[in-house]
Structure formats: C-alpha cells, structure tokens
C-alpha cells in the first residue's frame, strides 16, 4: 500500500488550484439517469470516488466518455439497461444510493443495495426512502437491497425532513423533477452542492424553486434533456488547503476559492488569528504571528461549520496557544484522527461528541494511519507543521477525495512525497 512521507520544513508560499467538488460531482453524475440525452460535466475532479461512480453508472447502462485529462465527463444513458445497483459497488461508496431516486423517477423501478454503516457512523438511508415514499414509491427491503417501484410513475408530494440530510435531499430532488405534479421538500439541506445540483437539473429542463433555502419546490416535467454544467468549486478541498499556511505560516493563494462557500469556517480561522483576503483570483490566506489562538467549533449543516473540515481544523488547534473545544454534531464517530494526532504529541481528550484540544508548542513526526478521507488529510496538515518525518499509511482514503496532494503542497515548498508500495 502507498504511503505519504512528510517532513515539516517551515512556511508555505505559492498558489494552489482548487478542483471541482467531489460531493457535487457524485450527485451530478447520477442525474444522467434522468435523461436519454448527453450530460456534460466540466471541472470534474480526478478522484477514485468519481471512478467508482462511473463504474456504477456504466453497470446500469450509461456510456461515459472522459476527456484526456479526466476533467470533462460526458455521460449518456440512452436507456437504463439494468436497474440493480449491486452490493459490490455500493459497499465501496455510500453515494451510490443516489442512483435510486433518478432510476425510479425515469423507469418506475430500481433495486439498490443498502450501503450499511461506515467508519464515521451508522449513516442510515431511512430519510432517502421516506422522501421517495412521500412521492408514491413502494419499497420492499429484502436480501440487503431496497426494491423500489412506482407503478404509473412518481407523483408530487410534501416531505419534511426530520433532520437535515444532504444525500436524502439530493435523491428526493432528482426524483421530483420527473414526478407528476408539485413536490415540496421542507427542512431541505442548503449545501452549495444542492444548489449546484438544482442548477444543473434546471439546465436539463427541470423546474425548481428555493434551492439553497430550507424549502425546495419542484414542478415535475415529462422529460429532461441534455445539458453542459461546470461542477462547483470543492469547498472542502478549499478549506483544507487554507489550513496549510495557517498551520505552517506563509501566504498561499487558493485559486478559484470563494468566501461564500466557506464563510463559517473563515470566521473561525480569523478568530484564530489567520488573515483571509478575497481577490478576483481566489482567497489569499496568511498567518501573521507565531501561534494561533484557540477557538471553539461546533459542526452543523450548511451554512454552519462543516463536519468535513472538523478533522483538519483540529490539526490546526493542536498547536494553538490555549485550549479549544470541538463539538461534532453530524456524525457520532468522527474523531478517529484524534488518537493518531496524539501519536504526534497532540493533547486531545475525547468525551462522546466533544474533543478538548490543549495546544502544544510543537508536534513531532510519527508513523500514523489514515482512518477516513478527512482524517487522512488532517494528519498530512499536522505533519507539515511537525518536527521530523511523518509517514501516513493507508492513503487510499486520501485518493478518494484529494487529487495531486503531493504536487499541490510541494509547489508551495512542502517536503512531501508518495512512496509507492513495492
Ligand atoms: C454528505 O453525506 C457528504 N457526502 C459527506 O461527505 C458529508 O460529511 C455529509 O453530507 C454532511 O455534510 C457526499 O455528499 C457524497 P447526510 P450524506 O445525509 O449525504 C443522518 C466526505 O468526507 N442520516 O447529510 O451521507 C446521518 O447518519 C463526506 O466527503 C440519517 O439518519 O450525509 C448523519 O448523521 C463524508 N438518515 C446526518 O443525517 C438518512 O437517511 C447527516 O447526513 C440520511 C442521513
């Protein structure tokens, strides 16, 4: 298995281009199932999760033609030739559940493996299913699969999500575009990825109002057509690399970065003493002063502080001048990076969903293990500021969500390299 070797060597200076959002692309790709015409996605990130989604869609009958460098994906599903999303693919990536709503909406039938739990929590899909039921879907859970049918097609309905769910909002939104009549989704997720999906679906001919607010209204149409759509900037990749100069010192331009995508995160960084400037080319982040100030963080659905930046923020706070408290409210088991950071000299006490981080002067390099995508990059960030060498193992997690990490960071002066497994 590959590993990443990092040696902390002082401030970072330069530019880092931010790619298209993984989590937007993973919901835009299944939208191909709603139309027989081509959907062209530009600014697509080059990641293993995108390849997994391609494999899944191909297994359902979609033809996918990427351009030479993989940043443009042309998807065409002339016909859905297989309505079953198999366990072998779904178990690799939970976002696979996003094919359920579109298949059901187009053909009135879909069978999708239940994804099961994952390292960061139980992560059920009950809300996806309940929202589709509100549109008239009949569901039968058997043999580890959800068998969904909608005789005569889906029909509009009203559904209020009891808790905010990004994926369930996406599934319901896609399904509603082809349902008969009006669908109202209340307490909907407001993430930029939802707004991006709604924009793409509107380009395909859908009639959607209110995306980006907590109430989305969809007027169903008979058919959707092809479209070309540029994937929104990855706000989590943006926030992650904003933390690199925050941790090591220096000044870095995050090309394509926008403050409105990460505003709650920016407020916390500024509270810690980090300078952020919005320019026409992107965000410029600079650390003035020696140590950052401690801050308290609570993760929340958008527009709150994102759970997907909690691990990386913890890496920064490990060397703050005082004690910070991080409260994780989205997933019940998302502190697996804490024991690994502790191996690097951090002082962290985890009690349930709360981690108390007492800042230390300096972290020290150590062999550590990536446990999930965001945990793995938090270890790399910590390693950039640590004394000596850190070896991050199990980096396949990292490759799911970050393209060219070593290139992007070494272009700013970091000492980082990937060591290929023999
Ligand atoms: C999306 O996951 C992201 N994944 C996650 O990104 C992100 O952490 C999460 O949203 C929250 O922002 C993709 O977009 C592919 P949820 P999703 O449904 O949609 C509970 C990353 O690192 N819930 O908003 O699966 C759930 O257990 C990741 O890129 C139910 O109870 O998240 C969680 O506690 C990992 N029943 C909460 O809701 C359901 O049916 C929010 O989850 C659905 C969710």
In angstroms, rounded to a whole number, what is the distance separating the alpha carbons of residues 372 and 403? 15
329's tokens: 């409210």
Among 165, 239, 265, the mutation site with the greatest number of ligand 1 atoms within 8 A of its Cβ is: 165
- The pLDDT of residue 290 is 82
In angstroms, rounded to a whole number, what is the distance separating the alpha carbons of residues 114 and 146? 6
Q: How far is the CA of 328 from the centre of ligand 1 (A)?
A: 13
- The pLDDT of residue 143 is 93
Superfamily (CATH) of domain 22-230: Enolpyruvate transferase domain (3.65.10.10)
Beta bridge partners of 284: 253, 277
- The pLDDT of residue 117 is 66
In angstroms, rounded to a whole number, what is the distance separating the alpha carbons of residues 156 and 136? 8
39's tokens: 């959907």
In angstroms, rounded to a whole number, what is the distance separating the alpha carbons of residues 240 and 382? 11
Q: How far is the CA of 388 from the centre of ligand 1 (A)?
A: 36
Contact 341, 379 (CB under 8 A): yes
Task: Give ligand 1 pocket residues (Cβ under 6 A).
Answer: 23, 26, 94-95, 121, 123-128, 163, 165-168, 307-308, 330-331, 373-374, 401
Domains 3-18+233-419 and 22-230 share a fold: yes
Reference 19, options 307, 244, 301, 235; nearest CA is 235
- The pLDDT of residue 421 is 83
Sequential pLDDT tens for the chain (422 residues): 889 999 998 899 999 999 999 999 999 999 999 999 999 999 999 999 999 999 999 999 999 999 999 999 999 999 999 999 999 999 999 999 999 999 999 999 999 999 876 777 778 999 999 999 999 999 999 999 999 999 999 999 999 999 999 999 999 999 999 999 999 999 999 999 999 999 999 999 999 999 999 999 999 999 999 999 999 999 999 999 999 999 999 999 999 999 999 999 999 999 999 999 999 999 999 998 789 999 999 999 999 999 999 999 999 999 999 999 999 999 988 999 999 999 999 999 999 999 999 999 999 999 999 889 999 999 999 999 999 999 999 888 899 999 999 999 999 999 999 998 87
Of 118, 248, 266, 412, the active-site residue reads 118
Q: Whose CA is nearest to atom 28 of ligand 1?
A: 308
- The pLDDT of residue 118 is 73
Contact 355, 314 (CB under 8 A): yes
Distances (CA, A) of 157 to 31, 91, 108, 163: 20, 30, 16, 18
In angstroms, rounded to a whole number, what is the distance separating the alpha carbons of residues 232 and 224? 21
**Domain 3-18+233-419, second-level architecture:** Alpha-beta prism (3.65)
Whether 118 sits among the annotated catalytic residues: the reply is yes
Contact 232, 193 (CB under 8 A): yes
Alpha carbon 403 to chain centroid, angstroms: 13
User: Does the bond joining 281 to the residue before it have cis omega, within 30 degrees of 0?
Assistant: no
Domain coordinates of the chain in residue numbers? 3-18+233-419, 22-230
Q: Whose CA is nearest to atom 39 of ligand 1?
A: 125
In angstroms, rounded to a whole number, what is the distance separating the alpha carbons of residues 381 and 375? 10
In angstroms, rounded to a whole number, what is the distance separating the alpha carbons of residues 15 and 279? 13
pTM more than 0.95: yes
């Amino acid at each position: 298995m590959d590993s990443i070797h990092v040696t902390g060597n002082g401030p970072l200076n330069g530019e880092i281009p931010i790619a298209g959002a993984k989590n937007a692309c993973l919901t835009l790709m299944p939208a191909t199932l709603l139309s027989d015409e081509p959907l062209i996605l530009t600014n697509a990130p080059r990641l293993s999760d995108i390849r997994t989604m391609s494999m899944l869609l191909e297994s359902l009958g979609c033809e996918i033609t990427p351009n030479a460098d993989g940043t443009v994906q042309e998807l065409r599903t002339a016909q859905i030739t297989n309505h079953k999303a198999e366990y072998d693919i779904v178990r690799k990536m939970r976002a696979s559940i996003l094919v359920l709503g579109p298949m059901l909406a187009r053909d009135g039938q879909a069978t999708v493996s239940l994804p099961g739990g994952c390292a960061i929590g139980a992560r059920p899909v009950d809300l996806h299913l309940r929202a589709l039921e509100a549109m008239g879907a009949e569901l039968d859970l058997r043999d580890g699969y959800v068998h969904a049918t909608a005789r005569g097609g889906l029909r509009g309905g009203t559904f209020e999500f009891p808790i905010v769910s990004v994926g369930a909002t996406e599934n319901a939104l896609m399904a509603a575009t082809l349902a008969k009549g009006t669908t109202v989704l209340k307490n909907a997720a407001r993430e930029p990825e939802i707004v991006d999906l709604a924009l793409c679906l509107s380009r395909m001919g859908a009639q959607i109002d209110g995306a980006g607010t907590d109430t989305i209204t969809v007027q169903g149409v008979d058919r959707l057509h092809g479209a070309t759509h540029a994937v929104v900037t990855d706000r989590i990749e943006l926030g992650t690399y904003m933390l690199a100069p925050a941790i090591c010192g220096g000044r870095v331009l995050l090309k394509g970065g926008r403050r409105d995508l990460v505003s709650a995160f920016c407020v916390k960084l500024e509270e810690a003493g980090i300078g952020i400037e919005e320019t026409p080319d992107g965000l410029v982040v600079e650390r003035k002063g020696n140590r950052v100030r401690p801050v308290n963080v609570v993760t929340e659905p958008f527009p709150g502080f994102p759970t997907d930046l909690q691990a990386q923020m913890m890496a920064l706070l490990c060397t703050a001048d005082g004690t910070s408290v991080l409260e994780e409210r989205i997933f019940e088991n998302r502190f697996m990076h804490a024991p690994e950071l502790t191996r690097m000299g951090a002082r962290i006490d985890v009690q349930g969903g709360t981690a108390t981080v007492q800042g230390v002067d300096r972290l020290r390099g150590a062999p550590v293990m990536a446990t999930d995508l965001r945990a793995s990059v938090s270890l790399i960030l910590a390693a950039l500021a640590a004394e000596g060498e850190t070896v991050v193992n199990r980096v396949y997690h990292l490759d799911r969500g970050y393209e060219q990490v070593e290139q992007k960071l070494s272009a700013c002066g970091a000492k980082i390299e990937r060591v290929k497994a023999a």
